Chains A and B, each alone.
Chain A
Amino acid sequence: MVVGVRSRGARIRSAAFGYANVLPFVFFALFPFYYMVITSLKSDTELYNLKAVPFLIQTGVITDNYHYLFFKTEFWTWMKNSLIISVTATSISLVIAILAGYSLARLRFPGVNSFGTAVFITYLVPPTLLFLPLSQVVVWLGISDTIWALIVTYPTFLVPFSTWLLMGYFRTIPREVEECALVDGASRLQTLVRIVLPMAVPGIVCVVLFGFTLTWNEFTYALTFISQTANKTAVVGVTADLIRGDIYYWGSLMAGAVLASLPIVIIYVWFLDYYVSGLTAGAVKG
C-alpha cells in the first residue's frame, strides 16, 4: 500500500473486503434471534417436519404461541415482577453509587484509596461465588421466595459496577466548579446535587441503562431465591416454567424468549451509543 491518495479501485476493493469479512460476524450475532422469532411464529406441523426448510415459514404465520403465552401462563405477572425488581433495584443502587462514587472520586480523607480498591474487588466478584450463602441470608431476612429477595441482593453487583462507572464521570468534572459553589456558600450536599449531578448526566444515564439491563437479565439469583411461579422474573419464568415435563414446546418457549427480551432490545436500540460508551468506560477506566 502506498502512502497518500489511493485509487478509486483500491478503495472499492478495500470496502468490499471489509463488508465481506464483517458480514459473517453480523450473521453469527443475529441468527439466533432471527431463528427465535421465526420459530415462535411457525405452526407445530411445520416446526417438526424434517423436510421443511428451517429458515423460512412456508405454511403461514401463526400467533397461537403468543396466544398461549398471554392467556394460559403467568407471563404478564413475570414481566411485571421483572419491571418492579429492575426499576427498584436500579434506583436504590443509583443513589448509593452516586454518593459513594462522588466521595471516592472527589473527597480526600484517610482510607479513601482502600475503599476504592474494595469497591473494585467487589466489582470483580462473580455472583456464582456467593449465591449459596445469600440464599440463606434471604431466608433469615424473611424475604425468601418474594421479589424482595432480588431487590435486596441485586445491589450487591450493581453498586460496585455503578460506583466504578460514576467515579470516572465525576473525575472529568473540573474541580473549580465545585469550589466556586462552596465559596458561594452552598453546602457540600447542595454542591453535589445541584452542580455536580447535572454535569454527570451521561454517566447517570449509563448507570440506569446498565442497571436495568443487568437486573432484567440476571438469572442465577432469580432462579435460586424464588420458586413460586407467581413471584418469578420474566427470564426465569420463561426458562423454567414453560418447559413442561419431557416435552419441549419450542414454539411457545421461543415466543416467551422473544417477548421477555423485547424491553431490553427496545431500550438498546434507543440508547445504543450509551451502551458502547458505558461498556468501554466500565471496563477500561480507573
Chain B
Amino acid sequence: MAVGQRAIEAAGTGVARPGPLARAREWWEQEHVFGYGLILPALLLIVCLVAYPFGMAIYFSLSDYWVGSPGNFVGLENFRDILGNEVFQRTVYNSFVFTSIAVAFKIVLGVWLAMLLFRNFKLKRLIRGAVLLPWVIPTALSTLAWWWMFDSLYSVVNWTAIRLGIISPPGPNWLGMTEYAMAAVIAVNVWRGLPFFAIIVLAGLVSIPREYYEAAEVDGASSWGRFRHVTLPLLKPVLAVVILFSTIFTFSDFNIVYVMTRGGPVNTTHLFATLAYQVGLNGGNLGQGAAISLFLFPMLAAVVFLQLRYIRKE
C-alpha cells in the first residue's frame, strides 16, 4: 500500500497549499464521484449502442427508409401496411403458437427433468453435463444437425419411426409441410431451452429445506401431494423468473427458424425476427423491417414490468 500512504501524506502536507494533482485525487476519492466514474463506460455503451439504436428503430419505422437512401417521415404508414399484410398476420399467429407451445413444453419437461436430476445418481455430474450441452453449443450449428435429421428424403427421425412401426413410409416431409415444420422448429427450441429451465429449477429445488418434505411425509402426503403442496408453491418464485426469461427469448428467436426453414413453407414458420430480417435486409426496406421488429417491444415491456413489479421486490 506504499502508493496509498504516499497519497495520504501528499494530501496531508497539501493542507497548506494543495497541489492540483492532490486536489484532483481528493475529488476522485469521493464516493459519488468515484461511483459515477466507474459506471460511465457502461452508461455510454448503453446510451450509444442500445438506447440510441432503439430510438433509431422508432424513427426508421416512421419513415420510408431503404438501404442506401435516407427516408422521409411517413407517419404510421409502415404500421398500416404491415398490419394489413397477410404474411405479417401469419407471423403474429406463428409467434404466439411457437412461444406458447415451446414454453409450455419447457415448463413441464424442465420441472420433471429437474426433479430427476435432484436425485442422487452415481454419475450425477456426467448426467448434468450431458443434459446442459444443447444450451452451450452454438444454436445455429446444432440446428444444422436438426435440419439434416428432418431431411425430406434421408430423415433419421422418419427412418426410426418407420422401423418402429409408428408411421408408414415414406413419412412426413417435415420442413415442407406447415404443421410439421412448426412442430420441428418448436422441437428444436425445446431441445435447446430445456437445460436452462432444468438447471435453474434444480437450483430452486436444492434451496427447499428438507424438513418440509419430512413434515409432509409424517402427515401422510403421497408423492404427488408433496409435489403439489410443498415443491410447487416453493418453486413459484424461481419458476416465475425462468418463465419470463424464456418467454422473451423464445418470442424473439431468430437462429432456429432462420437456419431450418427461413420462415417457410409459405411463411408458416416466420417469427418477428426472421420476417424483420427478410423485409429489412434481404428486401432492403429498413422502415418496414424496423416496424416489424418493434412488435417485439410490447412483449419485452410486459416481461420487464412483471420482473420489476413482482419479482425483484422480494
- Enumerate chain A interface residues (CB-CB to B < 8 A): 1, 3, 14-15, 18-19, 21-22, 25-26, 28-30, 32-33, 35-36, 39, 47-48, 50, 54-55, 95-97, 99-100, 102-104, 107-110, 112, 115, 117-122, 124-137, 152-153, 155-156, 159-160, 163, 181, 184-190, 213, 216-217, 219-220, 223-224, 235-236, 238-239, 248, 250, 253-254, 256-257, 260-261, 264-265, 268-269, 272, 275-276, 279-280, 283-284, 286
CB–CB B49/A99 < 8 A: no
Chain A proximity of B94: nearest CB distance (Å): 15
The 4 A-B pairs at the shortest CB distance, nearest first, are namely A126-B252, A109-B32, A128-B273, A100-B42
Contact B35 A29 (CB under 8 A): no
Give the chain B neighbours of A250 by CB distance below 8 A: 148, 151
**Which of chain A's residues has its CB closest to B281's CB?**
A224
Say yes or no: is B22 at the interface (Cβ < 8 Å to chain A).
Answer: no
Q: Which of B41, B125, B280, B308 contacts A117 (CB 8 A)?
A: B308
Also in contact, A272 and B125, with CB within 8 A (given A133-B290, A134-B49) = yes
> What residues of chain B have their CB less than 8 Å away from a CB belonging to chain A?
1, 3-5, 7-8, 25, 28-29, 31-32, 34-36, 38-39, 41-43, 45-46, 49-50, 52-54, 56-57, 60, 109, 113, 116-117, 119, 121, 125, 127-142, 144-146, 148-149, 151, 153-154, 156, 159, 191, 194-196, 199-200, 203-204, 214, 217-218, 223, 238, 241-242, 245, 248-249, 251-255, 258-259, 272-273, 276-277, 280-281, 286, 289-290, 293-294, 296-297, 300, 303-304, 307-308, 312
Contact (A260, B154) CB under 8 Å given A137-B49, A283-B200: no
Given the contacts A185-B5, A190-B1, A269-B129, A276 and B199 also touching, CB distance less than 8 Å: yes
User: Taking the nearest CB of chain B, how far is it from the CB of A159, in angstroms?
Assistant: 6
Q: A264 to B136, Cβ gap below 8 A?
A: yes
- Which residues on the B side are within 8 Å of A54 (C-beta)? 154, 156, 159
Q: Report if A132-B60 is in contact (Cβ < 8 Å); known contacts: A159-B45, A190-B1, A219-B255.
A: yes
Let me know if A97 and B286 touch, CB within 8 A.
no
| Contact in complex: B31, A33 (CB < 8 Å) | no
Query: Chain B residue with minimal CB distance to A268?
Result: B136
| Inter-chain pairs besides A36-B145, A185-B1, 19 sampled, C-beta below 8 Å | A18-B116, A19-B121, A22-B116, A22-B121, A26-B127, A33-B133, A96-B45, A103-B36, A109-B36, A115-B43, A131-B293, A132-B289, A137-B49, A163-B42, A187-B4, A239-B140, A254-B145, A265-B133, A284-B203
